[in-house]
Amino acid sequence: PNPFNPVTRIEYGLPVTSQVKLSIYDLLGREVITLVDGIQEAGYRSITWYGMNHAGSGVGAGMYFYVIQAGDFRQVKKMVLLK
């Protein structure tokens, strides 16, 4: 999803049904928004982030990180929002 303006799609696959949490963080480690937080069945998924925070306001250009947790799996990836 790099770089993106103003929308990006995050794709992931689940080998088994899992509790999934996918959140976006800024460079200071502050949570910007949680896109997924719940149980999902096995399979491929995608979620779209429209560059908005929890309050529905657009975020500024810069580097962001998404963290996906599914069961014991955890992964962090960086994204760059250009405006």
pLDDT digits (tens, 9 = 90+) for 45-60: 999 999 999 999 999 9
* Mean pLDDT to the nearest integer, 47-75: 96
Q: What is the pLDDT of residue 6?
A: 86
What span, in angstroms and rounded, lies between the C-alpha atoms of 48 and 82? Answer: 16
Q: How confident is the model at residue 3 (pLDDT cuts 50, 70, 90)?
A: confident
The string of pLDDT tens digits covering residues 32-48 is: 999 999 999 999 999 99
Tell me how crowded residue 51 is: count the other CB atoms within 10 A of its CB: 21
Instruction: Check whether 2 has a pLDDT greater than 80.
Output: no
pTM for this one? Answer: 0.92
What span, in angstroms and rounded, lies between the C-alpha atoms of 32 and 10? Answer: 15
Query: Are the C-beta atoms of 13 and 57 separated by less than 8 Å?
Result: no
